[in-house]
Amino acid sequence: MIRYALACGAGHDFEGWFGNSSDYDDQAARGLLECPVCGSPEVKKQIMAPAVAGTKAQKTPDLAPQMREMMMQAQAAIRTHVEENFDYVGDAFAREARAIHEGKSEERGIYGEASAKEVKALIEDGVRVAPLPPPPPKKDALN
């Protein structure tokens, strides 16, 4: 995987993860990239310093507990919103997402399960998909 710092024509900065550098080039050439803030298709790579692994193990800084809790709450809120407002289509997700994209099924929010191969095919065909955040851990299961 490779991470690129990206920006849209309106100046919104964000990042994108790609299988390799040619994946970015391919998606950009096909017009599949867009700004998550404003939806602009004018997306360009930014200058980045390469991530070079040193000889000493580097400790990743821990997120502040408040920041971690805020992120967990946001993920839980997203998941709850999707579960309450979108149609659950189970393992028919890839088929139904493609049908909606092609105009063969009613336009609506859906969620369900799909294999990595199915998700990759959807993305390559320009179908917009995103993973659903995991369910929050059960309070009694925490250390």
The pLDDT of residue 55 is above 80:
no
Query: Residue 120: which domain range?
Result: 65-141
The share of the chain scoring above pLDDT 70, in percent, equals 85
Q: What is the pLDDT of residue 106?
A: 94
The pLDDT of residue 57 is above 80:
no
Same structural domain for residues 7 and 75?
no
Same structural domain for residues 38 and 74?
no
Q: Please state, as a whole number, how many other Cβ atoms lie within 10 Å of the Cβ of residue 14.
A: 14
The pLDDT of residue 142 is above 60:
no
| Lowest-confidence segment of 34-43, 45-54, 55-64 by average pLDDT | 55-64
Q: Where are the beta strands (DSSP E) in the chain?
A: 2-8, 13-18, 43-45, 87-90, 110-112
Radius of gyration in angstroms for the set of CA atoms belonging to the chain, rounded to a whole number: 18
Residue 60 lies in a domain: no
Residue 133 lies in a domain: yes
